[in-house]
Amino acid sequence: MDDTITVEIGPRSVTLALPAVEDCWAIADAWNDNRRFAMGAALGLCWQTPRPPKLRLADFRYNVLEYGRAVWADRREDGWPHVELMAAAAQALTLALESVVSNKEVADEAERFRADG
């Protein structure tokens, strides 16, 4: 598994990198409580360049869901297109989760997510 990937969001290339393993576990734990905010947290923690969010997980007392909610708001306020942000967040989530859970578990959860629509 690569530790970094590049995604296209609008006309810009964005580099996503694997966050600390503790953050990956926190994202995995948050996934069951609120998938959208867990994806936002993954996006924020993985985002490297350009213009990463100024938000830090510590600023939210390590509350992953509140951090993820704030990342969505920050990226939208910065003018990043929502649909492409969602696609990038899905890739960030996969990057983070694959480091702490098996590929089969990730594939099974992705299938459930698609089925839930």
| pLDDT tens, the chain, 117 aa long | 579 999 999 899 999 999 999 999 999 999 999 999 999 999 999 999 998 999 999 999 999 999 999 999 999 999 999 999 999 999 999 999 988 876 666 667 767 777 775
In the chain, the number of structural domains is 1
Question: Model's pTM, two decimal places?
Answer: 0.84
Q: What is the DSSP letter of 61?
A: T
Distance CA 68, CA 42 (A): 7
Radius of gyration of the chain (CA): 13
Indicate the helix (H) or strand (E) that contains 13: strand 12-17
- Whether the CB-CB separation of 9 and 84 falls below 8 Å is answered with yes
58: containing domain = 4-116
